[in-house]
Amino acid sequence: MRAVLQRVTRACVRVGGETVGETGPGLVVLLGIARDDTEADARYMVEKTVALRVFDDEEGRMNRSVVEVGGGLLVVSQFTLYGDVRRGRRPSWIDAAPPEVAEPLYEFFVAEARRSVACVETGSFRRMMEVELINDGPVTILLDSRKLF
């Protein structure tokens, strides 16, 4: 499982011009799921995401988590995080989980995140979405459940 985390002042997801999810200060989680991912991968990613210290403390140091600052999460499925472009010019999606595998793990990630974070919003799985965000910092972190980076 892979994620791009972006600290934001606000963010929203629209489908067909209608807002389906939004958050104020917090994190946008662009979440990609691999074909061999399991609930253990999702648990690891949730634990890392909600505990990551990327929010400022009183001294201006990144020393607080999204939970500690009362921030929200906006979780957006993004299979393109598994696009392989090492050969040719067209990405290969061979490592991305098929929808029947990815969607239950995406929903499991969201449910687990809601156990720790009061406000967890989502995009719409398998839909064309417009994601709008104001990156705060900017702060952008890459996570991988296989610890590849």
- For 29-64, what is each residue's pLDDT tens digit? 999 999 999 999 999 999 999 999 999 999 999 999
pLDDT value, residue 35: 97
The DSSP H or E segment spanning 16 is none
The CATH architecture that domain 2-137 belongs to is: 3-Layer(bba) Sandwich (3.50)
pTM confidence score: 0.96
- In this prediction, residue 106 carries a pLDDT of 98
Spatial distance between the Cα atoms of 130 and 123, rounded to a whole number of angstroms: 9
Catalytic residue among 80, 108, 109, 140: 80
The helix or strand, by DSSP H or E, that contains position 7, with its residue range, turns out to be strand 2-15
Average pLDDT, rounded, for the chain? 97
46 closest CA partner among 29, 58, 26: 29
Known catalytic residue at 78: yes
Q: What is the pLDDT of residues 80-102, one digit of tens each?
A: 999 999 999 999 999 999 999 99
What residue segments make up the domains of the chain, in order of their start?
2-137
Q: Which of 23, 78, 109, 122 is catalytic?
A: 78
* Selected catalytic residue, list 6, 23, 49, 79: 79
CB atoms closer than 10 angstroms to residue 61: 10
